[in-house]
Amino acid sequence: MTTTAQTSDRLRTAIPGPQSAALQRRRERAVASGVPSVLPAAAERGGDGLLVDADGNELIDLASGIAVTSAGNPAPAVADAVAGQASLFTHACFMVTPYEGYVRVCEQLAELTPGEHEKRSALFNSGSEAVENAVKIARHATGRQAVVVFDHAYHGRTNLTMALTAKNMPYKHRFGPFAPEVYRVPMSYPFRDPAGMTGEQAAARATTQMAKHVGADNIAAVLIEPIQGEGGFVVPAPGFLRAVADWCSDNGVLLIADEIQTGFCRTGAWFACEHEDVVPDLVTTAKGMAGGLPLAAVTGHADVMDAVHAGGLGGTYGGNPIACAAALATIETMRTRDLAAAAGRIERAALQRLRALAEGDNGIGEVRGRGAMLAVEFAGADGEPDAERATRVAKACHEAGVIVLTCGTYGNVVRLLPPLVIGEQLLDEGLSVLEHAITA
Ligand SMILES: *Cc1c(COP(=O)(O)O)cnc(C)c1O
Same-domain status, 346 and 223: no
pLDDT value at residue 48: 87
Same-domain status, 347 and 236: no
pLDDT value at residue 4: 46
**What is the distance in A from the centroid of ligand 1 to the CA of 289?**
12
CATH number of domain containing 396: 3.90.1150.10
The residue among 221, 220, 192, 214 whose CA lies nearest residue 382 is 192
pLDDT value at residue 5: 42
Maximum pairwise Cα distance, the chain = 62
288 C-beta closer than 6 A to ligand 1: no
**What is the distance in A from the centroid of ligand 1 to the CA of 179?**
18
Query: Which of the listed residues 275, 301, 336 is the one where a domain comes to its end?
Result: 336
Same-domain status, 392 and 332: no
Q: Give dist(CA 221, CA 245) in Å, integer.
A: 11
Q: Which amino acid is located at 212 in the chain? A: K
Domain count, the chain: 2
Q: Which atom of ligand 1 is nearest to the CA of 158?
A: 9
Same-domain status, 324 and 430: no
Same-domain status, 138 and 201: yes
- Parent domain of 246: 78-336
pTM (2 d.p.) = 0.97
User: Do the domain assignments include residue 68?
Assistant: no
User: Do the domain assignments include residue 34?
Assistant: yes
**What is the distance in A from the centroid of ligand 1 to the CA of 207?**
25
Same-domain status, 292 and 401: no
The residue among 245, 153, 225, 172 whose CA lies nearest residue 373 is 225
Same-domain status, 225 and 115: yes
pLDDT value at residue 1: 40
Task: Give the 3-state secondary structure of 6-70.
Answer: CCHHHCCCCCCCHHHHHHHHHHHHHCCCCCCCCCCCCEEEECCCEEEECCCCEEEECCHHHHCCC
Give tens-digit pLDDT for 245-281.
Answer: 999 999 999 999 999 999 999 999 999 999 999 999 9
Q: Which atom of ligand 1 is nearest to the CA of 294?
A: 7
Same-domain status, 407 and 320: no
- Given a cut of 50, the residues of the chain with pLDDT beneath it are 1-7
User: Do the domain assignments include residue 157?
Assistant: yes
Q: Which atom of ligand 1 is nearest to the CA of 258?
A: 13
Contacting residues for 100 by C-beta, under 8 A, at least 6 apart: none
